[in-house]
Amino acid sequence: MSYGETCFARLRKYERREQLTIWVAAGLGSLVAFAATDVIKEAPRIFPRLVLTIAALGGLCLAFSRVQFEWNATIIRRQIDEGTIEKTTLLP
């Protein structure tokens, strides 16, 4: 955790991380698409299943992290809108 950053800086950081989860999810989707092709036809039968299982677990983790980033950003936005804090307020 960074110390001494403003609410606005933290909010932007959360928004960038939300976007980053989309790129990681796209990579994960590419891996699943690759596992579904005939390229791995000669791989052991467990391999495609293993890839799909890991991709599903990874997708769950990505979804959870994205929701957390969105929720933390929402909390900061609400506090700014209510006037509880300002964009220039330093956060711990």
Query: What local confidence, expressed as pLDDT, does residue 13 receive?
Result: 93
DSSP codes of every residue in 7-48: HHHHHHHHHHHHHHHHHHHHHHHHHHHHHTSGGGTTS-THHH
Domain ranges across the chain: 5-91
Query: What local confidence, expressed as pLDDT, does residue 1 receive?
Result: 52
Which of the four pLDDT bands, split at 50, 70 and 90, describes residue 4?
confident
Query: What local confidence, expressed as pLDDT, does residue 3 receive?
Result: 61
Q: For the whole model, what pTM was predicted?
A: 0.72
Each residue's pLDDT tens digit, 37-77: 777 777 788 887 888 888 889 989 999 999 999 999 999 99
